[in-house]
Chain A
Amino acid sequence: MAISITEAAATHVRKSLDKRGKGEGLRLGVRTAGCSGMAYVLEFADSINPEEQIFESHGVKLIIDPKSLVYLDGTVLDYRKEGLNEGFKFDNPNVKGECGCGESFTV
């Protein structure tokens, strides 16, 4: 089981962490919320919990708890521009359905 990050997203994360001045890496996860079952968590991580797994990809530590990993296995985190908006996108092969806005999903 693994997760990874694209070069573009990694560059962006490294810049953000740099600017922030602290942080071990990026914490990815899922939690139950939203209009369609699950929602993604994307946060800076200041510490790593013992049960969490770490995947290093393009120089960025991706930190994830085992429960979330089940839902995110094989996910590639990308950074995209869509019109004026720009941000991170989870390319998650486990997703069976998304709500219209794409902020939550089901597996």
Chain B
Amino acid sequence: MALLQISEPGQTTAPHEHRLAVGIDLGTTNSLVATVRSGMAKTLPDASGRHLLPSVVHYRAHQEPEVGEAALAAAAEDPLNTIASVKRLMGRGLVDVKRLGELLPYEFAAGDTGMPRLRTVSGERSPVEVSAEILKHLKQRAEATLGGALVGAVITVPAYFDEAQRQATKDAATVAGLTVLRLLNEPTAAAVAYGLDQQAEGVFAIYDLGGGTFDISILRLSQGVFEVLATAGDSALGGDDMDHAIADWMWTQAGLSQHNDRHAQRRLLRDARAAKEALTDADSHSVNVTRPDGSVWTGMLDRSTLQALVDPLIERTLAPTRRALKDAGLRPSDIQEVVLVGGSTRMPRVRNQVATYFGKNPLTNIDPDKVVAIGAAIQADILAGNKPDAEMLLLDVIPLSLGLEIMGGMVEKIIPRNSTIPTTRAQEFTTFKDGQTAMAIHVLQGERELVTDCRSLARFELRNIPPMVAGAARIRVTFQVDADGLLSVMAREETTGVAAHIEVKPSYGLTDAEIERMLRDSISHADADMVARQLREQQVEAERVLEAVQAALQSDGERFLSADERARIESSMAALRTARAGSVASVIKQAIHDVDQATRDFAMRRMDAGVRAALAGHRLDEFRS
């Protein structure tokens, strides 16, 4: 008969209606699936007892692709058809991918949507499809283990993932036939796994040192909302670098200089890794190197030597950590709990150094490889409805501000960073020119004031605006971010109801380092941004004044102005044009003021004439009411 799990009081489901939900940690190197059974969140192993699924897909001609260990084994023989680290490509454009291309040995082709495609023997595959294979594999494992179909999954993503990368992850789940209950930030999931969300409030640091990446996130919890205060990291630093350092040391100790034999190198790295892992508990570990001539060097690697080898790498994690704290405006002592994530944090030396830096012992009792998946499973269990209502539902925030481009290449923020999601915000805009019938909506993400410093997410046009004088049209732009952090934008002209709308789809993107830099820059460039914004504002205003005066001169200049007056106005306009070309906001402001003064009489005469024209032919009592 079926095997049963213990339910929360009153939550027993009817037979065949179990609300099975899982948490998935879709990692760069390894992925995991976890679920809550009988009140305990656990990762699910495969038939051989392995919990970690290598995030590797091996495509074969006329056969189903292999995923995981089998794919990893094929990597050496068939590198072009074996896709690893596909997470780095999610939601990225061809240009970004080419830049990463030096690290990745794959052949890329441009897709019709701008999404890069990988050439494999079974055809061109997008990163979304590759990720979907991994998700499919985990879904099958979960369904085989739990004995039923899943109602949904919570999938984790890095805190710095932007809209496009989140949408790509969600698309991958759809392709894999998984319902996404929620995308959850990885550091938030780690905090949930330790039950930190059960506290009233607090500030936490999540230190995530994986195989190939390092991320540090500073989270603040208040009223059930996790806010990402800062993130930083190094997308090319991890346990693999430690293995290389140890392997190089072994090679040098064996009296050898260069190593270009890939086979020997792989074995050396494997031994280095084994030694590193052994030294987690032991004080020393015997290592040996077989020289090309067949002779064998044997030596001992002890903890102090290992520390000397890895300390420079650990030090490299502390630089982003300091930066993240600085961005958050905090000192190490402000951090209430430090959570360790990633296999490399098992190393006692890493734990020591982190403890020393923050002045407190980090939380380590959950397996650092599994902690993110476990947090996701706990969320999935709540979202699937297996917990009583009293259980607090975790809220998330958007990582970077969302806004749109306004005249002068400036960004108007509609939804500020760290707003809780789901959220909807709207703002009204108007036309800039008389008779303007269309408006380009350029959606941007980032913290900076100028368009060129932010990330472009999407563009669309609102057409068929009825011709009106500048400033008369009322265009309401609504930004909506759903619970997964995905954005849709709608623009609507209020008087006629014409509307246009777009959903932000993955198109192209930035590297992790660039996103991180964008966040940092917004803080370090705050003053420069303000100056730039003021300048642009004055330039736009100058443009508007010049156009208005020019139009007035054209229609009524002859009628109301003497040659002398006209010359004075034109010279003030010329001065304004010169000022506008410069880069000092106050000078432009003064020049606008001068044009204003010079055109004062002209404007009054026009107004008088306008009123007279409107009144002509009417009797006074027509205006009595």
Contacts and interface: CB of A to CB of B under 8 A. Distances in A.
Interface of A: 12-13, 15-17, 19-20, 26-27, 31, 33-35, 39-46, 80, 82-90, 98-99, 101-104
Contact of B15 (A27, A34, A90): A34
Interface of B: 1-12, 14-16, 37-40, 44-47, 141, 144-147
Contact of B4 (A34, A82, A89): A89
Given A19-B39, A20-B39, A84-B47, A44 B6 contact: yes
A52 to B, nearest CB: 13
Max chain A Cβ within 10 angstroms of own Cβ: one of B3, B44, B47: B3
B144 A83 contact: yes
24 contacts: A12-B38, A16-B6, A19-B40, A26-B6, A27-B9, A34-B15, A39-B15, A42-B5, A42-B6, A42-B12, A43-B12, A44-B6, A44-B9, A44-B39, A82-B3, A84-B44, A84-B144, A85-B147, A86-B3, A87-B2, A87-B37, A98-B1, A102-B2, A104-B15
Contacts of A104: 15
Given A84-B47, A102-B1, 8 more contacts: A16-B40, A27-B9, A41-B7, A43-B10, A89-B1, A89-B3, A89-B4, A99-B15
Contacts of B145: 84-85
A16 B2 contact: no
A15 B14 contact: no
A41 B7 CA distance: 8
Contacts of A85: 3, 144-147
A99 B39 CA distance: 27
B16 A103 contact: yes
B40 A15 contact: yes
A99 to B, nearest CB: 8
Contact of B12 (A20, A41, A46, A83): A41
A76 to B, nearest CB: 14
The 7 closest A-B pairs by CB, nearest first: A102-B1, A87-B3, A103-B15, A34-B15, A84-B145, A88-B4, A20-B39
B39 A33 contact: no
A44 B16 contact: no
A33 B39 CA distance: 23
B9 A43 contact: yes
Contacts of A102: 1-2
A43 to B, nearest CB: 5
Contact of A34 (B3, B8, B16, B39): B16
Contacts of A19: 39-40
A12 B46 CA distance: 21
Contacts of B1: 89-90, 98, 101-103
Nearest to B18: A103
B7 A42 contact: yes
B14 A43 contact: no
Contacts of B5: 42, 87-88
A90 B3 CA distance: 9
Contacts of A45: 9
A105 B295 CA distance: 69
B16 A46 contact: no
Nearest to A81: B3
Nearest to A104: B15
